[in-house]
Structure 1
């Protein structure tokens, strides 16, 4: 009789092969795409101004302590003359109409301007000391104030029409309009200072939101032999 053992063994091997553990399939999970918003741009000063500009302090009424506040009537008139002089020289310089209007202004109101100048000098003399230097410095600041580049366009938009208007006024009529006119000419500067304060606040917020940056002094790194452990 023929033995059946090899057949049994063969079947056993086949069964073992069928019972072998299969390697489980591992599911591949694609991580979600996280959209990182781009960093906010660094705030820039308004009207192309310098980033470290010194501006007048604020006042309790919400304005700014410009050099056109709290003036005497004579100082107000002289500041108006200075503002319109800057307008004639720096606003629309290709059009000679501004200079012509300013020359008419000086001619028609020469007597009143001369009186205002003497009265303004007297104000500084009463302050004692080297009043002439203080006076000259103050007048330079007045002209430089109205010539500030960031405010030029807004200032010129108000000053040129005003120059034509006051140049055609009869003698003796300037005092009635000097105070409101100087306030109107000062407003573009107040608006600029307010925008500059907003820029500084925005810059402070932006700076606080930036991640810290670690810096190493290369001189210390290459020369120090100290070893520290924590």
Structure 2
């Protein structure tokens, strides 16, 4: 066994210490010399989505006028109608459906023809009642006033964008009318008319929403696009006259004024009777209280 002196032992210890220190130093230097990893690339921006200009609903045309709202609903020629007028408007709506709706077997057309056959008498009575209403309200001008409203009603139910949603409703209403007795038609007519009108009310609401979205789109991108003006609302349709009694009133234009109905455009204003000129006062008017003239007492003696 080799015996080392204390100095040799110290040298061995120092040699081992510096050897280990060299290994640590090399590791530290290696770590310092490693290049720093580059930062991750920036997140790419989202893809550019082309802004789409709002389009009218149901294939309708642009810049279309719609009615104004009154009492929560859009004004239509079916407002303020009597039961007879409502039934006649229902008949006109189903007539439009018979001519315009194309379903398997032409259901709307078959229903309409069957309706005229089954409920012919009550429809005739309703037509006569509506005629009487116009004669009482407008006199000799009643025929023209009714024809104008009929044209408005036919045009209302013939609005092309609504036909797709109107036809199923018309067929459903036609089936209900054929399933009930004629005596129940007048009571059901206002409800049937509201059901037939609902697709058009929904369309007007959708078009109003389209106009709102279009205005918002124009406010954001109007500098680079052609800005369309908001269309003016449709004028209010004529209001049909109220129910007239079977006998009594003489037809005249003045009766329309009494019912707060505007006379038709082609009706001449009623002649006013001539009145004598007012007499000029001969004494100045007094502002004091007027005396009541009491009857003279009778002599009972």
Flag whether TM exceeds 0.5 (same fold): yes
Following superposition, the deviation at residue 101 of structure 1 comes to: 2.1
- In the alignment, structure 1 residue 186 sits paired with structure 2 residue 181: no
Q: Which has the larger radius of gyration?
A: 2
Query: Who is 2:299 aligned against?
Result: none
Following superposition, the deviation at residue 135 of structure 1 comes to: 1.3
Query: Who is 2:145 aligned against?
Result: 134
Following superposition, the deviation at residue 94 of structure 1 comes to: 5.5
TM-score, normalised relative to structure 1: 0.71
Contact 2:94–2:112, Cα closer than 8 Å, also in 1 = yes
Structure 2 residues without counterparts, runs of 5 or longer? 1-40, 226-301
- Counterparts of 2:200 and 2:177, CA distance in 1: 21
Query: Who is 2:63 aligned against?
Result: 52
1:120 aligned to which of 118, 130, 133: 130
- Counterparts of 2:109 and 2:44, CA distance in 1: 65
Question: What pairs with 1:80-229 in structure 2 (closer than 5 Å)?
Answer: 80-92=90-102, 95-125=105-135, 126-128=137-139, 130-210=141-221, 212=223
Instruction: Supply the RMSD in Å over aligned alpha carbons.
Output: 2.5
Indicate the larger mover: 124-133 or 71-80.
Answer: 124-133
- Counterparts of 2:106 and 2:129, CA distance in 1: 32
Local SS of the residue matching 2:113: helix
Contact 2:169–2:196, Cα closer than 8 Å, also in 1 = yes
Structure 1 residues without counterparts, runs of 5 or longer? 1-29, 215-230
- Counterparts of 1:138 and 1:178, CA distance in 2: 18
Higher helix share: 1
When residues 198 and 171 of structure 1 are mapped into structure 2, their CA distance, relative to the original with a 3 A threshold, is same
Query: Who is 1:78 aligned against?
Result: 88
